[in-house]
Amino acid sequence: MQSMQTDGGLAELEKNDNKNDNEIDSAYALQQYLDHIPISSIPAIQSSQVLELKAGDSLRDAIHMLYQKDIFSAAILDVSHSNTTPPTMTFTTSYIAIIDFSTMVLWCLQEYEKILENSMENSPNDGVPKVKDIESHGFFSILDRFPQIGQTKVGDLAKSFLWEPFFPVRLDDTILHALLLLSKHRLCLLPVTQQPGPGLVGFVTQNAVVQFLLQSSGLEWFDSVADKNLSYLSFENRKHPSCVSRGQSVADALKVLWQNQTCAVAVLDEQTKKLIGNVRNSDVYHLVNNDNLLRNRMILTVEEFIHTEIDNIGSEDEHGGFVAARSLSLKSRFIPKMDSPVTNKENDTLKQIMEHMTQTNSSFSFLMNDNEQVTGLVTLRDIIVQFAPPCLDSSIDGGGFFQFALEQSGCHVKNGTIIRN
């Protein structure tokens, strides 16, 4: 990966920091430095595949398109809106959201389960043969058999809050801009635009941002944050990780994923409560790809599921690190196996968990005690929040790019402090 030293900005900040320790603290140095590094410095942004869905596309067509192209997320384009966009407005106003494969599949499966429950209640003797016949032809046969699911428009899913907000960034925006947006909103990625001309050129992922931050390891302003012990930091899901027992069904795990809107469910041994694996939202891909797994999800235990033989062989790029765009792939070849979950000790530092998560291309890590029991869950967003305002010194005036970023984030600056509107 390329160096973060641009235009002498780092050298100048280090020089100032050494000379005026009382005037420039490490948090302010971090903020100022990241405000000078363009997003274009993040490797492989434009090598990621970009896919657009129309708000009027059916769920069946949308899921099939992502499945065929092996792409995890897509931008939703409101064609009717773009046709009426005033000349003074930018093309980005035609994009209304980001949606991902797993969310759409989980929604379809939950809607299908509701139909099955109603069917079994009304016709208990006729329901099972029909289900077996439908599911024997795979996931897409379900969408074809039940148009109330498969023909649902992508745009209608906004009513179920299944979209991620569309907050575009430009290649000449700064890393601090990206940090602010990713920390203020529940975003897995940021779409990247390049002017002039319409369309998206790539995505900035959470993983890529954390990888980029790690390049500053060893510098005072970075280490002052990253060397803190995890026990001293506050994380959203630290005390409430989602869990299932090894003997529960795959359908149970999927239900927990959906109801808790979490990225992963820990699989525990019933007696010892030790962690033996995990089921992630990305793992729903296997049910679309394997008809047997889909058909047996009600009786297949999560322990059996996590030991399913699935190709997980990763590859490295010419820099010796994993490809930056890999997290946008549906297939599991770039992530750990389900029976080898990413974990960290409670007494690890923030830097250690950052290194572990980026090396394994994971969006989370389970926190473990000395008895190998799960005590929490730390996500990439939890990490990014540690480096973004308002955690940093809020000595800012809100001008320039920051004003634009704050407006998108629903915040403003008052008396030098960032305040959520």
Contact assessment for residue 286 and residue 308, using Cβ atoms and an 8 Å cutoff:
yes
| Paired tokens of 394 | 């809020």
One domain, residues 166 and 119: no
Question: Residue 406's pLDDT is what?
Answer: 54
Contact assessment for residue 377 and residue 261, using Cβ atoms and an 8 Å cutoff:
no
Vertex 123: Cα angle to 118 and 128 (nearest 5) = 85
Q: Which of 146-150, 160-164, 232-236, 317-321 has the lowest mean pLDDT?
A: 317-321
Residue 292 lies in a domain: no
User: Between the CA of residue 123 and those of 115, 119, 141, 251, what are the distances in Å?
Assistant: 12, 6, 21, 22
One domain, residues 144 and 193: no
Residue 95 lies in a domain: yes
Cα gap 297→236, rounded to integer Å: 30
Q: Which of 83-97, 184-198, 355-369 has the lowest mean pLDDT?
A: 83-97
Residue 221 lies in a domain: no
Residue 51 lies in a domain: yes
- Number of residues written out for the chain: 421
Question: Residue 324's pLDDT is what?
Answer: 43
User: Burial code of 380-401, b = ≥16 C-beta within 10 A, e = fewer?
Assistant: bbbbbbbbbbebbbbebebeeb
Q: Which of 6-15, 28-37, 373-382 has the lowest mean pLDDT?
A: 6-15
One domain, residues 64 and 145: no
Residue 227 lies in a domain: no
Verdict on whether the full-model pTM lies above 0.85: no
List the domain range (segments joined by +) for residue 129: 109-153
User: Between the CA of residue 208 and those of 63, 222, 329, 397, what are the distances in Å?
Assistant: 25, 17, 14, 28
One domain, residues 94 and 120: no
Residue 378 lies in a domain: no
One domain, residues 136 and 182: no
pLDDT band at 124 (very low <50, low <70, confident <90, very high): low
CATH number at residue 86: 3.10.580.10
Non-local (6+) Cβ contacts of 358 within 8 A are 207, 210, 211, 214, 322
One domain, residues 135 and 161: no
Cα gap 207→204, rounded to integer Å: 8
One domain, residues 97 and 161: yes
Between 368 and 12, where is the model more confident?
368
Query: What domain count does the chain have?
Result: 2
pLDDT, averaged across the chain:
79
User: Burial code of 170-192, b = ≥16 C-beta within 10 A, e = fewer?
Assistant: bbebbbbbbbbbbbbeebbbbbb
- Please check the confidence at residue 112 and state whether its pLDDT lies above 70: yes
Residue 136 lies in a domain: yes
**pLDDT > 90 fraction of the chain, expressed in percent and rounded:** 43
One domain, residues 168 and 198: yes
One domain, residues 51 and 78: yes
pLDDT in tens, 173-186: 988 889 888 888 88
Classify strands 169-170 and 189-193 as parallel, antiparallel or unpaired: parallel
Residue 57 lies in a domain: yes
Asked, as a colleague might, if the bond just before 196 is cis with ω within 30 of 0, I would say: yes
| Paired tokens of 361 | 């291309």
What is the rounded average pLDDT of the residues 372-377?
91
Last residue of a domain, one of 122, 153, 184: 153
